[in-house]
Structures are given as structure tokens and as C-alpha cells.
Structure 1
Amino acid sequence: MKIGIVNAGNLGLHLAIPWIRRGHDIMLSKDAALERLQERVRKFGWQQGLTESELSRFKYGSMADAAGFGEVVIMSIYFPRLAETLQLLQDNGISLSGKIVIDTMNPLNVDANFNHYHDLEYMKRTSTTEKLQRTFPDAILFKAFNTMPATLLDARKWTTDYVPGIIFAGGNASSISTVRQLIEDAGFRPQFAGHDLKDAGLLERLGLLLHLLVENEYQGDSNVVFDVMKCKV
């Protein structure tokens, strides 16, 4: 499958590694010099045990290139630059018409001291997924991969008898199987929460809940995920 990752930061790279192993065709992009991205991918790939052959299969381009390349487009845009990045894509003729677009973002703003915080006023009004849908009305939008820290999107960190679920929402009946497969290819359990994109905001609010759990129950240890378990009786 052809996958374009728009702004491949920590989260995008953690997904790109297992996907390239599973044979997907991936183009990476970043809002910085591509040489720096290539160096980071090479270093990170070595740490993750990728072979030279696997590393050589990554493609690189601008964010517009990645959006145009993918049958599936992963949106991991830095939230403070969301509006200008979406405008940049539109200015480059990107419509994402008919493409599966997976929004991995949370509305995290940054203060003068570079501390990140949830933009509560934004979250009251809308979600990043709904913003994407308004900008690209002909895209097939999903929300996924936003409910755990990027560093935990490494299935090898989890035991073989327990892997957390990835909750996802949006899309249509014909596109669910594709997103399910990508979640499984990343090494996790897909958990579908329905088609209504208004519910994407609920997934963003899980970040607030996780923050409270980390602060009050886990003494600041951020290696925490929210999961849904089904009891077998």
C-alpha cells in the first residue's frame, strides 16, 4: 500500500518502521530540510533494527508530495502550524479526494517556555479531524493513533500476550478494513468506535484523562495507555 506521512515526527516514524517491514511503500515528509529527515530516519531505523534494504525503500518529499503520493495519508502536523500547513497543501493543489486520511493529531499548543498543553478552547469548538474534513471534504477521514505516547507505538515494548488496542473512528464501511489492517500491521489491536467524526473529539479528550492518570496515579511516568478490555465469561 502507498502511504504518505505528512510531517513524520516521532509518531510518524514509529508507524513507518513496522509498515516498511510489512512491505508498504512509504513517502516521508517534514517541515524541515529533507537531509535532516533522512539522517534521522537512518539513525532511528538502525536503532529499530531495519536492514539497509528496508531503509533504502523509504521515499522522501515535501509535505505536498507525501499527500499526493499516498493512497493512505497520515496527518501528523504540528498543531500550532496546522492552519498554515493545510493552506500550503491546498496551494499545491492537494484535495485528498477519495483518499483515506488518518488524523493522528491532538490539539496541543505550546507556551513561551515551549511547554505543551491541550488547547481547551479549541477542543470545545471542534477537533483536528473535523478541521481536516472541512478543509478536504472529499477525503475519507479517520481518527487513530492519537491515544498513546508516540514512544509506546512500538509493539516490541509490549508482551506477546498483551498488546494494547488502537481506538479509531470515522471513514465509511468500505474503508474500515484498510485502517484495521494498518493498525494490525503496526502491531496493535484495532478497536472501532463508529463513523461519526464528531466523536473524534472524544479521542482527543482521552489525552486529558491520560495526563491526569500520569500525574495522580503513576507519579509522572508517562508510559501509560488507555485501553478497553473485554472480559471473557
Structure 2
Amino acid sequence: MPPIRLRRSTGRVGPSRRAHTTTAVQVLATRSNASRARQSARNVMSPPVGYLMVSIEPPNFADMRIGILGAGNMAAALGTHWVRAGHEVMVSGRDPGRARETAERIGGQAGDWAQAAQFGEVVLLAVLADGVPDVLAATELAGKVVIDCTNAVVQGRWTLATPAMAESVAAKSGARVVKAFNLCPDELWRQTPPPVAVPLCGDDPEAMDIVRGLVVDVGCVAVDGGGLERAALFEATAAVVIGLAVQGVEPRGILPVVG
């Protein structure tokens, strides 16, 4: 398991460049007072109508290095929030020019896939589903916390080409995968804050805690979606929702709030 860099609490606002290493099973350093206040305010936000939320307060993580595998709309939308929250972000992609443009736009840095994977204490997998095999072949992700927001949706049929993408990524890479951010389009994630709760599916408790903190930094409420085996259900849900939206059907119309 790779070491995670911690920030010592200094009581000052702003990122610290002092760092030391420890094992990933230790609790990460506390944010500054200002960051903790911001996070506390977000933790008490109400979930969207229709969500039954189990309240889980995320831990206070220090500023982290986040590698993003992908340079498209999801990379830009989520990366923007994380940079604003004080994290360091490296964007990568098949097209180095697009990766540089996205990185400059959000205030991060650019690299190739292997560099972004090595850079990140947490890695966001944000490429099209058919590009996942190439990304996994080019990176070393064993032991890393990987956020999978991909959907292997077959256009036109609105089914899944890979029925359990998150589990497949975990099995092939050895990463500690958490499924998140896959149910809504990038336009929603660009909002400040995005008006949704974010279900998380994963098997590693520490990885789940880390991703909960990053969900809070986006401005959302994290919802416990269960183990990684349940990620396939959320991937299938995405296929259904996308298919309905293409037909001009409001997905919430088929799931009215009861009570």
C-alpha cells in the first residue's frame, strides 16, 4: 500500500508545503480551521428530495494529490471543485494538448497517464469506457484509491457493454476502487454546489472515507451505497436514466416520492 502524504495542522489558512509520510491506515492530518468550518457547513446540508440519507460524517482530510485519468468534461468539472478546495490536481489524457488545456483551465498541472497515476494519492478514472483497458495497461494503480465514474453504456441500446465496470477495474488493477459520480452528467457537476447526493460503493473502509471527504469538497452529501458488488446496480441505473433522458423522459417521473 503506497504511503500517503499528510499535512501537519498549523492553525493557518491555506495549503502547507510541509509534509511527512505515514502508512495509509493512519488518519490523515486535520484541515485548517477555515476548511473544517466549511466542511461542517456542508455536512449539515439537506439531501435532495427523494433521498433517504444515512448521515455519515466524513473525516477531515488534508490537501491531497489527485491524479485524473482523462481530460474531458468530467475531469474538468470535478477537478475544478478539488482545486478550489486546496487539492493538487494532475490531468492526463490520450491527447497531451487537451490535457494541458484542461489543466490550465482548472488550475492544475498536466502529465501522461502513468505520471498522473503515480502523482495521485487518489486517482479519478474519467475516460470513456472503451478507453479503460488502455489506461489500465499504462498505469500502476495497485493499492491506490481509485474513483470510478465511468459508465459502459451502449449507445442506442442503452444497455451495459461491461455489466460490472468498477469490479472489473478493481480486479485488473489491484486498486481500492470506489464507484462515485456516475449518475449525473458533467453539466450538473459544474454547478456550485451540485444539487445532488452522491452514492458511494466500495469495499475498503479507508478508501470510502477518503472519497466521502472529496464528495464534500465538491459540495455534495455522500450516501453509503454498499459494497463494490452493488456498483453494478448504479451502473445499470445510469444506463436506464440516460436512455430515458434521450427519449425526453424525466427520470424522476418514474420514481415519484412516496409519503
Task: Tell me how far 1:41 sits from its aligned partner.
Answer: 4.5
CA distance in 1, matches of 2:92, 2:213: 23
Residues 134-149 of structure 1 mapped to structure 2, 5 A cutoff: 134-137=171-174, 139-149=175-185
CA distance in 1, matches of 2:74, 2:124: 10
Q: Equivalent residue for 1:86?
A: 136
Task: Tell me how far 1:118 sits from its aligned partner.
Answer: 4.1
Counterpart residue identity of residue 120, structure 1: L
Q: Equivalent residue for 2:83?
A: 20
Local SS of the residue matching 2:100: helix
Question: Which protein is richer in helix relative to its size?
Answer: 1
TM-score norm. by structure 2 comes to 0.67
CA distance in 2, matches of 1:131, 1:173: 19
Local SS of the residue matching 1:174: helix
Q: Equivalent residue for 2:99?
A: 37
Q: Equivalent residue for 2:231?
A: 200
Change (3 A) 1:38 1:80: same
Residues 39-54 of structure 1 mapped to structure 2, 5 A cutoff: 39-42=101-104, 44-45=105-106
1:122 aligns with 2:162: yes
| Preserved CA contact (<8 Å) 1:22 1:185 | yes
Task: Tell me how far 1:228 sits from its aligned partner.
Answer: 11
Task: Tell me how far 1:189 sits from its aligned partner.
Answer: 1.2
Task: Tell me how far 1:187 sits from its aligned partner.
Answer: 1.2
In angstroms, what is the RMSD of aligned CA positions? 2.8
TM-score norm. by structure 1 comes to 0.74
Counterpart residue identity of residue 238, structure 2: G
1:69 is matched with which residue: 96, 111, 119?
119
Local SS of the residue matching 1:184: helix
CA distance in 1, matches of 2:242, 2:142: 35
Counterpart residue identity of residue 39, structure 1: E
CA distance in 2, matches of 1:40, 1:120: 28
Task: Tell me how far 1:17 sits from its aligned partner.
Answer: 0.5
Local SS of the residue matching 1:141: strand
Number of residue pairs aligned between Structure 1 and Structure 2: 195
Segments of 5+ residues of structure 1 without an aligned counterpart are 46-54, 110-114
CA distance in 1, matches of 2:254, 2:125: 22
Change (3 A) 1:134 1:217: same
1:101 aligns with 2:146: yes
CA distance in 1, matches of 2:236, 2:222: 19
2:168 is matched with which residue: 131, 149, 161?
131
Residues 153-172 of structure 1 mapped to structure 2, 5 A cutoff: 153-156=189-192, 163-172=195-204
Q: 4+ residue runs of structure 1 moved beyond 6 angstroms?
A: 224-231
